[in-house]
Structure 1
Amino acid sequence: MSYEYPNSQGRTIQEVAREIMGRPTEHDTTNLNIDRMEAILDLMGHPEQSFRVVHLTGTNGKGSIARMTEALARSYGLRTGLYTSPHLERINERIAIDGRELDDDDFVDIYEQIKGLVAIVDDKAVQKGQAPMSFFEVLTAMAIWSFADAPVDVAIVEVGMGGMWDATNVLSADAAVIGPIDMDHMQWLGNTVEEIAGEKVGIIKPDSTVIVSAQPHEDVMPIIEQAAHDRQATKVLYDGQQLEVISRQPAVGGQVVTLRTPSGIYEDVPIDKFGEHQAHNALVALAAAEVVIPVNGALDGGIVAEALSQVKIPGRLEQVRSSPTIIIDGGHNVNAAQALRETIEENYDFQQVVGVVAMMRDKQIEEYLGTLEPLLTQIVVTENSWAERVMSADELEIVAKKVFGSDRVIRENTLPDAIQKAVNLVDEEDDLGVGYGHGIVVCGSFVTAGDARSLLKEHHNPDLEKPKAERV
């Protein structure tokens, strides 16, 4: 980054974000190649070769595993880059160095530095009758450029979608993490878990260590094994075989786990997240960190415990309010709904749970709602801010009534009204007025989660810093 003259053009982050996000989406099926990414990295001088890589794919768990892996690597003094998607509230969230997202000026500066190279790639693509770079390709190029410029020792990178043709697959992974594979993005990745797995194993590269999460579908295992063999991976580590969650105990604000990897046993590790799935995410993250941290044998148990105890994962089973308890979750498929339901049932003593749900039209909506039906007392259906993709509240109401019955479904056309309606519903049942035993879950999409976080964020009131007599 140009630390001497950050954002020398004086552009705002909003201007740059609109310019980037106005590009074609990565969902364009005529765009299924990494030619443009290879072209821009060639123009950059291949900065991706300057750091080690943990590359993550899978239907669920990528964000959690990525953040845990980054925390572990940083706790050992390594400089880290983290690239995740989607963002919840601000585009800057996608790119972080040493645990801190790029600030506005640095984000704008990075974009200004590569913008001319993007234009060259766009021109060449158009001349060939191909699409210009997508917004995700531009963001991926920005992340790689910023990581090399920092410079980082290791980059932890989530795929955007799939694996084989994802923009991030220009990277050669030292550790290739295959998270749980389930049905999602079927219109682009395939209509069976086997087809989807075939896309996701594309991140496996020669000499990489492949780390495989516990899989909800056994049918994907032969596909992963064959890809690791064909691509000459160094070794494959499976959750449930070489990797194990030996024990887990719910605790205040999270859980305490004992984990086993081929390097050793890590006892009584605190994790600042609820849910059995997060224990397994921590296990996979630990195995990935062991690949890229230059230590022989097991990592130091105290350092591991300190790192994992402080990992925050926005928008994933995130409690943002108390009295009443409000939980936000960005998961949007059946596997995510199952994890959400099980985690709440295990860790909260709710007698009433009101769901606030807004989902994209292309998701398995009826199946998702069906998974949550035993948990939710009532459901308020609504819409999020992505007008082009979100299912209308009217349509979602029809689906929800099929699952819950008419008497348990309420429609509010805007998310603020839906959240307020849910608060009113729990207040009506809260005889003591303290919120205990009553909860609200806002879920169905990362866009929904991001919108809710913005709405429910506590805002600083500078007037409160003044003496009482001077307050307005």
Structure 2
Amino acid sequence: MSQEHDAFSVESVYAELLGRAPENKMEPRMEPMFRAMEILGEPNKAMPIIHVTGTNGKTSTARIIEALLLAHDLRVGRYTSPHLSSVTERICLDGEPVPDEVFVRIWDEIRPYLAIVDAELDEQGLVPLTYFEALTILGYAIFADAPVDVAVIEVGLGGITDATNVGDGQVSVVTPISLDHTELLGDTVRDIALEKSGIIKPGGFLVSSAQEPEAAQVLLEAARELEVPFRFQGVEFGVESRTLAVGGQSLVIQGLAGRYEDLALPLHGAHQAQNAAVAIAAMEAFLGGGQTALNEDLVRQGLENVASPGRLELIRSAPTLLVDAGHNPAGLKVSADAVKEAFGFSALVLVVGILAEKDAPAMLETLYTEYGDLVQDLCLTQSTSPRAIPAGELGEIALRAGFKEQDLYITERLDDALEWAVGRAEATGDLAGGVLVTGSITLVGEARTLLGK
């Protein structure tokens, strides 16, 4: 196949996937996923799985686990969502998006079997396989075909009825739980934790970030009921110390079975250090049941190779331009802490776009509170997603959050927003000024594309 044909073919598959119902158009269910796995010969059982859920930090944690596994010379599949620029980013083999040819070939192979499941659902008056269900099936099929030694699978939404939950995690990882997707998961941290605890499986091992008490209690009860060993950050493992370093930070981490010093992590923020500690504990649980220390040189090697695109990512300098996929109040809070710690801005221009299902008032209030006098100007804009809140509407919300009208610039076009923000940052003549693009993953993805990443 030519490259042009590959690219066209991937786009064709993506268009076909997008033609399916989105996840929020159906009732929670698992039966169609198990039926698809049965027809395909159970690719969900072809490899051990490290299953990752939580509200914030899932993708970064999954990427760190992947890097550590690769340092141990294992063949790794990683399934994460959403993507920043190409759908193939969601299904990675050995740290790279699945080759276009493989993506298209496996889709062509499984398409007839998905049609069987679709027909059965249609006969029952049910919604055919959704976009995310079909993509998850494709991910499992690609990993089984490779084959991989281990799959790192990030939950799409929740846990119990998430399409990825046809896989049984040998290690279940839970990153910090907070309020998000409340219309689907429940409006308390306890309700959301109950949903996410559904990935814990008999015979597995639970590794959790530090949690709010009500979330921690839910996870403890689930692990005890299933007689699964459980380890919590801040109790059995954690970050012992962290210092700023060029391009990231230097860490000392106490794991479940070992202590790891002089670790260079090329990511910014205390939250990423905590994600690294969770990833190391998950590795110890996976490779030695939490009883055996990892090879320290391999841990160093793995962490040094970590990247997390779209997470406080430096896109350009002079002026400094960062993109961050903070998409809920808790995510914006930890990113703000990291920005203030790592970059020392004296003035900041914010470019913000938010999707309709998110708590835009709380997000803008968080940005106002966290950045305070640091924000020189605020640009409200929108991505091309049909779910994007119109920029003008965001402007009204920003005023109610405390921002001043004279500091706002409103444009529906992201290219215009970026040009204006860079111009404003340059106009100050302050070398310590910068631009931060944040608020939604779709906005960050489109900004990276416009800026040549």
Q: Is TM (by shorter chain) over 0.5?
A: yes
Instruction: Give CA deviations for 1:189-243 in whole Å, capped at 9, x if unaligned.
Output: 111111111111110000111011022x22211111111112231x101000001
Secondary structure of residue in 2 paired with 1:384: coil
Aligned identity (percent) is 37
**Structure-2 residue corresponding to 1:14:** 11
Match of 2:220 among 211, 219, 225: 225
C-alpha contact (below 8 Å) 1:54/1:176 kept by paired residues: yes
What is the aligned partner in structure 2 of residue 171 from structure 1? 167
1:422 corresponds in structure 2 to 421
Aligned to 1:278: 272
1:322 to 297, 317, 323: 317
Report Cα offsets for 1:12-31 as digits up to 9, x if no partner: 2111110011111111242x
Retained in 2: the 8 A contact 1:11–1:108? no
Q: Which runs of 5+ in 1 are unaligned?
A: 459-472
**1:220, 1:161 → 2: CA distance?**
16
Match of 2:364 among 366, 369, 372: 369
Task: Determine the C-alpha separation between the residues in 1 that align with 2:7 and 2:317.
Answer: 40
Tell me, in whole angstroms, the C-alpha distance in 2 between the residues paired with 1:344 and 1:9.
Answer: 39
State whether residues 6 and 105 of structure 1, in contact with CA within 8 Å, keep that contact through their aligned partners in structure 2: no
State the partner residue of 1:385: 384
Aligned residues of 1:7 and 1:108 also touching (Cα < 8 A): no
Task: Determine whether 1:28 maps to 2:25.
Answer: yes
CA shift digits 1:59-89 (9 cap, x unpaired): 0000011000011111111111000000010
Partner of 2:51: 55
| Mean Cα deviation higher: 376-385 or 9-18 | 9-18
Q: Which residue of 2 aligns with 1:131?
A: 127
Whether contact under 8 Å (1:246, 1:259) holds in the other structure is yes
Provide the C-alpha distance between the structure 1 equivalents of 2:62 and 2:249, rounded to a whole number of angstroms. 19
Give the conservation status (yes or no) of the 8 Å contact 1:52–1:292: no
Residue 7 of structure 1 and its aligned partner are, at CA, apart by 12
Query: Alignment RMSD, CA only?
Result: 1.8
Correspondence for 1:462: none
> What SS does the aligned partner of 1:56 have?
strand
Report the CA distance between 1:270 and its aligned residue.
Answer: 0.6
User: Structure 2 CA distance, aligned partners of 1:371 and 1:10?
Assistant: 40
Q: Is 1:161 aligned to residue 161 of structure 2?
A: no
Q: TM-score, normalised by structure 2?
A: 0.96
Residue 341 of structure 2 aligns with an amino acid whose one-letter code is E
How far apart are 1:428 and its partner, in Å? 1.1
| 1:95-110 alignment runs, 5 A limit | 95-110=91-106
1:435-457 Cα offsets, whole Å, 9 max, x none, are: x2011000000000100000001
Give deviations 1:379-399, integer Å, cap 9, x for gaps. Answer: 10011010x211001100000
In 2, Cα distance between the equivalents of 1:122 and 1:424? 51
- 1-structure distance, mates of 2:377, 2:188: 32
Separation in structure 1 between the aligned mates of residue 8 and residue 344 of structure 2, nearest angstrom: 49
Return the alpha-carbon distance in structure 2 between the equivalents of residues 347 and 182 of structure 1: 24
Distance 2:45 2:413 in 1: 46
CA distance in 1 between counterparts of 2:437 and 2:130 reads 30
Structure 2: how far apart are the matches of 1:111 and 1:262? Answer: 40
Q: Distance in 2 between matches of 1:112 and 1:292?
A: 33
Spell out the pairing of 1:135-284 with structure 2 (5 A cutoff).
Answer: 135-215=131-211, 217-233=212-228, 235-284=229-278
Contact 1:325 1:440 in 2 (8 A): yes
Structure 2 CA distance for aligned equivalents of residues 184 and 137 of structure 1: 21
Matches within 5 A, 1:83-98: 83-98=79-94
2:102 partner letter = D
Q: Which amino acid aligns with 1:371?
A: T
State how far apart, in whole Å, the 1-side matches of 2:312 and 2:130 are. 30
Separation in structure 2 between the aligned mates of residue 172 and residue 397 of structure 1, nearest angstrom: 45
CA distance in 2, matches of 1:242, 1:293: 17
Q: Indicate how the Cα distance of structure 1 residues 277 and 10 shifts in structure 2: closer, same or farther if over 3 A, else same.
A: closer
TM-score (norm 1): 0.92
* 1:386-425 Cα distance to aligned partner (Å, 9 max, x none): 0x21100110000011221212221112111011110111
Question: 1:397 — aligned with what?
Answer: 395
| C-alpha separation in 1, matches of 2:7 and 2:105 | 9
Matched letter for residue 390 of structure 1: A
Change (3 A) 1:11 1:381: closer
In structure 2, do the counterparts of structure 1 residues 7 and 209 end up closer, same or farther at CA, with 3 Å as the change threshold?
Answer: farther
Distance in 2 separating the partners of 1:54 and 1:7: 35
State the AA in 2 paired with 1:442.
V
Contact 1:92 1:104 in 2 (8 A): yes
SS of 1:457's equivalent?
coil
Distance 1:82 1:321 in 2: 28
1:66 aligns with 2:62: yes
Deviation of the 1:365 alpha carbon: 1.2
CA contact (8 A) 2:270 2:338 kept: yes
- Alpha-carbon distance in 1 for matches of 2:300, 2:51: 23
Structure 2, unaligned runs of 5 or more:
none
1:42 aligns with 2:38: yes
Paired AA for residue 28 in structure 1: K
Q: Specify the SS of the correspondent of 1:442.
A: strand
The alpha carbon displacement at 1:8 in A equals: 10
Give yes or no for the alignment of 1:343 onto 2:342: no
Change (3 A) 1:81 1:345: same
Task: Check the 8 A contact 2:351/2:380 in 1, yes or no.
Answer: yes
Task: Specify the SS of the correspondent of 2:169.
Answer: coil
Name the CA distance, whole Å, in 2 between partners of 1:408 and 1:7.
Answer: 45
Q: Quick one: distance in 1 between partners of 2:61 and 2:407?
A: 36
List per-residue Cα deviations over 1:76-131 (Å, max 9, x = no partner).
Answer: 11111000000010000000111121122211111101100110000001111111
Query: How has the CA–CA distance of structure 1 residues 358 and 44 changed in structure 2, closer, same or farther, with 3 Å as cutoff?
Result: same
Flag the 1:10–1:86 CA change in 2: closer, same or farther, 3 A.
Answer: closer
2:306 is equivalent to residue 308 of structure 1:
no
Q: Which AA in structure 2 matches 1:419? A: L
Give the distance between the partners of 2:7 and 2:251, measured in 1 at CA.
48
SS at 1:27 equivalent: helix
Matched residues, number: 447
**Equivalent-residue separation in structure 1 for 2:213 and 2:288 (angstroms):** 33
